[in-house]
Amino acid sequence: KQEVTQIPAALSVPEGENLVLNCSFTDSAIYNLQWFRQDPGKGLTSLLLIQSSQREQTSGRLNASLDKSSGRSTLYIAASQPGDSATYLCAVREETSGSRLTFGEGTQLTVNP
Amino acid sequence: KAGVTQTPRYLIKTRGQQVTLSCSPISGHRSVSWYQQTPGQGLQFLFEYFSETQRNKGNFPGRFSGRQFSNSRSEMNVSTLELGDSALYLCASSYRGGLGVGELFFGEGSRLTVL
How would residue B98 be classed by pLDDT, with cut points 50, 70 and 90? low
What's the pLDDT tens digit per position in B70-84? 999 999 999 999 999
How would residue A95 be classed by pLDDT, with cut points 50, 70 and 90? confident
Read off the DSSP letter of residue B99: G
Q: Greater confidence, B40 or A4?
A: A4
Look at residue B101 in the predicted model and tell me its pLDDT.
56
Residues of B in contact with A103 (CB under 8 A): 42-43
What's the pLDDT tens digit per position in B16-63? 999 999 999 999 898 999 999 999 899 999 999 998 999 889 999 999
Look at residue B104 in the predicted model and tell me its pLDDT.
87
In the predicted model, what is the mean pLDDT of chain A?
A: 94
Residues of A in contact with B105 (CB under 8 A): 46
Please give the full DSSP string across A15-60, using - where no structure is assigned.
TT--EEEEEEES---EEEEEEEEE-TT--EEEEEEEETT-SEEEET
How would residue B1 be classed by pLDDT, with cut points 50, 70 and 90? low
- The answer to whether A67 contacts chain B (CB < 8 Å) is no
Query: A71, A56 in Cβ contact below 8 A?
Result: no
Look at residue A94 in the predicted model and tell me its pLDDT.
84
Ramachandran quadrant class, B93 (left: phi over 0; alpha: psi -120 to 50; beta: rest) = beta
Query: A88, A75 in Cβ contact below 8 A?
Result: yes
Residue of B89, B54, B57 whose CA lies nearest to B68: B54
Residues of A in contact with B108 (CB under 8 A): 42-43
Interchain CB distance below 8 Å, A43 and B108: yes
Query: Rg of chain A's alpha carbons, rounded to an integer?
Result: 13
